[in-house]
Structure 1
Amino acid sequence: MSSIEPSAKSISTRWVFASGGIGPGLIDNAHYFVLIFYNQILGLSGSLTGIALAVGLLFDAISDPLTGFLSDNWKSRWGRRHPFLYASILPAVIFYFLLWHPPDFIRGENLLFLYLIVCNIGLRLGLTLFVIPSYAIIAEITSDYDERTRLVGYMTSAFSVVGNGMSVAMYAFWLVPTPENADGVLNAAGYGEAGLFGAIAIGVSILIFCVGLHKFIPHLREYRNVTSLAPKEFFRQSVDVIRDASLRAMGMAGILYYTASGTYAVLWVYIYSFFWEFSSEEISLLVVPMVIGGMALIPLLPRITFKREKKNVAILMFLGASLINAIPILLRLLGLFPENGSDTLFWMMMVAGFFETLLFLMLDAIWISMVTDIAEQNEVNTGRRSEGIILSTLSFVQKCASALGTLAGGLIIDFIAFPENAIVGQVSSDTLFDLGLVYGPLILTLYLAACFFVSRYRISREDFSTALTELEKP
């Protein structure tokens, strides 16, 4: 087998990986708007919206590890990963579009509830078929400890820039006030137009990723993991992977981290629109530094992680981002933060948004790289390459916990009796105080607990090098 390391480090390959972050970034961005779209515009209760989105985790419990197992052991002229990558395009595009375009006959809570469940499961299927192989192929393309983080950094940067850029576009072009809706967030037509744009962008970006990495297929090492795809082999390999202490630690951390992130995502519009009372124009400007933070990730991440332990850097990023996220809310509850409508509040939130985004993105990139590094240690222990199953645990935990966070967000909205068809500036101060009181401490507690479990990760730079040396022995 010829070496593929130089190609993996080429700038063209890195930008191909960047294209791999666009589709997931747009799908993730939907979490920021789907609750308010179905709750405030279509009239589905917050609890039912949250439940419909959380139901997908039952599907993920099977589809994620199964996709990882199948892609680890798949044999085709397109290699192990590409058949699944190409197969992800149609469900991702179709169900993203349908999410924002419910047919006219879908009316009433029961039908809306079922419709959202179907769209959610279909969209999750497309995301699973793409995300797990796209992460797993990193370990096949390069065994360089730092280059893996760099490739993930490009994906994470695009994920953030496009996701946050979509938020800017939502408020600047689609969620704009109309004669019928003084509050642009309630502009129903805008969601539909954005849904069409997003569906097209998702399909094109995934196709670019697939075609861009197609040239690696002839050079990838062939692994003969199993002779059967029987269920017992699936369960055996899954159990072997779960036995890894580092993977269990990252799994526990992921449950807490992504639950917090999911709650944050679905309540983000409520916090910025109602708690801080920013206008649509102001929110579109506040998201700009977040986009810049995503751009800054590409040059800064390699410099910060070079020759350093990934775990130590991840913990520092975790602590910094968590505090920046929570402190403004907590200070407002104590009456120690600038008043709504003030220039001071606007500029402080703009600066906070930049650093919070940058630190969380660094954490995300390092997180994925840390999980990817488990593949070599697992191969030493079991004699099999199981990147797909290993990365499926990350994807499964991420999506399940995000769904739990979405459910939590919906329950919070109902628990504090947040009004439907609410108008900015007319929600009672008691309701807004309750929103901040539940949101701020809850998110901070989950983030800090996740940080503790990250500290239990065991694979160091030296351990990774030792595993590679062991695998190179005849």
Structure 2
Amino acid sequence: MSTQENYQTATEDKISTLRKIIYGFGAFVNNLLGAAIGTMTIVLNLGLGMNPALVGLLGALPRLVDAFTDPLMGYISDHTRSKWGRRRPYIFWGAIVAGITFALLWQLPRGQSEEFYFWFFLIGSIIFYLAYTIFATPWVALGYELTPDYHERTSIMAVQNFMGQFAWLFAPWFLLFMQNESLFSDMIEGASWLAVIIGLFTIIVGILPAIFLTERFTPIATSKTIIDPNAPPVKPRSLSYAVADFFKGFLITLKFKPFLSLCGATFLVFNGFMMVSAFQSYVIIYYVFGGDQALGAEYVGWAGTVSFISTSCAIFIVTKLSSWLGKRNAFFITIAISIFGYALKWICFTPDNPMLVIIPPIFFSFGLGGLFTLMGSMVADVCDLDELETGERREGMFGSIYWWVVKLGLAAAMAAGGFLLHATGFDVALAGAQSADTLFYMRLADVLVPVFCSVVAIWMVATYPITEKMAHDTRSKLEARRGKMAAEVNALDENTDGVTPA
């Protein structure tokens, strides 16, 4: 590893701390919704007695809808033209609708069959994720365009990642809250009230980036306008044209190799972490505490608190490493630390000394801290390189596909966790009397899956090509091109009395 050639951040490229925090509120909401639905689905198994394999399917199936709606929302956001901007209207209304639908999703009726609960939750989840996409996709794209500076992008992503971690601070305590006997009659009632609280918070906080942030990039004239100034006005685009243009942009984005490396690594690292978040709870409750749900839930919460503190520290460490060694090398270091943490779980998750469960999160939290600090910044660099090659800005498309991969990782973790749990022989009816083989296989999967995913992620990022110098050169070329196009458009406006052909 060698130090990088550093370029000074220009004053006009810096984003104030207040604006970074406001953008970070979106990360808090985004992570809170994802963490909540992942954590609260345990109610379907422990509260309603659903087969864990079915619970896993409920986490995975809505992602089939996301596979289409996320890129579509990215395309819509990229091509929206309004006086409020391309992103802000969707962020505002998406936060409101997502908050309402999340609260309604957990108002589970009593005394129904397993089949009823499956379809109720599946249909409700699909509606919720549609609203979630309307909010999250434009919010992500907005972050990519707040600044064109290589290092300031990492700083923005560090702040938003730090604020997003508060969701993971609270999420591990959701189980303890939902089964609090002094507040609720059972876990199902606890989930219904928790969902209302989260829904209201989503609405109030989620709209802040739409209200207080501005968008950097505005549509500029295309080369076709400049090449043929005497062409007749272009008619409004037809639906068939929009569909063809959507698939064209979608395929270009998917074929962009630097972006694919980032998506693959993100899927693997995040999937590994979510295996920790979902599967780990069962290991702590049924192996470390012999089936004591209340005590196990408390320690799950403490492990989550330690994870939050460690991740927060990792975010600022990785930001410094990025400026010294480059984003790719910083990624290698943080993922290696997280692998060590996952391996420690085999030793530290023990009924002989339950307090040791708080040690592995100190290390494996570096994976998530480094991932979303560096990857968001790296995707922003990819957007610049894509514009240089294609002449179009596709933050929405890149962001939508990237975050669909994140949500796919969450779904894969939930589905894999459910099926793995079922495959180990786990039976909720046995409570603390699970077999020795079941406990062994639960622990083995909890360690090996995230370690394997992290190792493959390092291999995938090894070929990522964008260095600081390359990013700087790309920006210089883009600004020269934009300046030339703007000058030609201004000259064209003067020659046509200010009327520019569409």
Does 1:273 find its partner at 2:285? yes
Partner of 1:235: 247
| 3-state secondary structure, aligned to 1:27 | helix
Partner of 2:420: 412
The 1:32–1:70 alpha-carbon spacing in structure 2 relative to 1, beyond 3 Å, is: closer
- Residue 158 (structure 2) aligned to one of 153, 160, 178: 153
Instruction: Show the 5 A alignment for 1:64-463.
Output: 64-104=70-110, 107-168=112-173, 170-171=175-176, 173-176=177-180, 187-213=187-213, 216-217=214-215, 220-223=217-220, 228=237, 230-277=242-289, 279-297=296-314, 299-329=316-346, 331=347, 339-342=350-353, 345-346=354-355, 348-421=356-429, 423=431, 425-463=432-470
The 1:274–1:193 alpha-carbon spacing in structure 2 relative to 1, beyond 3 Å, is: same
Distance 1:453 1:197 in 2: 40
For structure 1, which segment, 426-435 or 411-420, has the greater mean C-alpha deviation from structure 2 after superposition?
426-435
- Residue 61 (structure 1) aligned to one of 53, 63, 67: 67
For structure 1, which segment, 60-69 or 115-124, has the greater mean C-alpha deviation from structure 2 after superposition?
115-124
- CA apart distance, 1:6: 4.4
Distance 2:253 2:133 in 1: 19
Distance 1:426 1:72 in 2: 55
Q: Judge conservation of contact 1:29–1:164 (CA < 8 Å) in 2.
A: no
Once the two structures are superposed, residues 83-124 of structure 1 have per-residue CA deviations (whole angstroms, 9 ceiling, x without a partner) of: 22123123311222123221347x212111111112221232
- CA apart distance, 1:5: 6.3
Q: Judge conservation of contact 2:88–2:211 (CA < 8 Å) in 1.
A: no
Q: Judge conservation of contact 1:170–1:194 (CA < 8 Å) in 2.
A: no
The 1:123–1:325 alpha-carbon spacing in structure 2 relative to 1, beyond 3 Å, is: farther
- CA apart distance, 1:375: 0.5
Structure 2 unaligned regions, length at least 5: 1-9, 225-235, 290-294, 485-502
Distance 1:180 1:426 in 2: 27
Q: How many residues of Structure 1 are paired with residues of Structure 2 in the alignment?
A: 453
Letter of the structure 2 residue corresponding to residue 253 of structure 1 = A
Does 1:468 find its partner at 2:475? yes
- CA apart distance, 1:59: 0.5
Partner of 1:334: none
> Percent of aligned pairs with the same residue?
21
TM-score, length-scaled by structure 1: 0.88
Q: Judge conservation of contact 2:44–2:55 (CA < 8 Å) in 1.
A: yes
Structure 1 unaligned regions, length at least 5: 332-336
Q: Judge conservation of contact 1:35–1:266 (CA < 8 Å) in 2.
A: no
Q: Judge conservation of contact 1:5–1:141 (CA < 8 Å) in 2.
A: no
The 1:294–1:205 alpha-carbon spacing in structure 2 relative to 1, beyond 3 Å, is: farther
Distance 2:188 2:430 in 1: 15
TM-score, length-scaled by structure 2: 0.83
Q: Judge conservation of contact 2:39–2:171 (CA < 8 Å) in 1.
A: no
Distance 2:183 2:136 in 1: 41
Flag the structure with larger Rg.
2
| 3-state secondary structure, aligned to 1:160 | helix
- CA apart distance, 1:382: 0.3
- CA apart distance, 1:317: 0.9
Q: Judge conservation of contact 1:9–1:147 (CA < 8 Å) in 2.
A: yes
What's the C-alpha RMSD, in Å, of the aligned pairs?
Answer: 2.6
Does 1:37 find its partner at 2:54? no
Q: Judge conservation of contact 2:154–2:374 (CA < 8 Å) in 1.
A: yes
The 1:91–1:269 alpha-carbon spacing in structure 2 relative to 1, beyond 3 Å, is: farther
- CA apart distance, 1:394: 0.7
Distance 1:460 1:179 in 2: 54
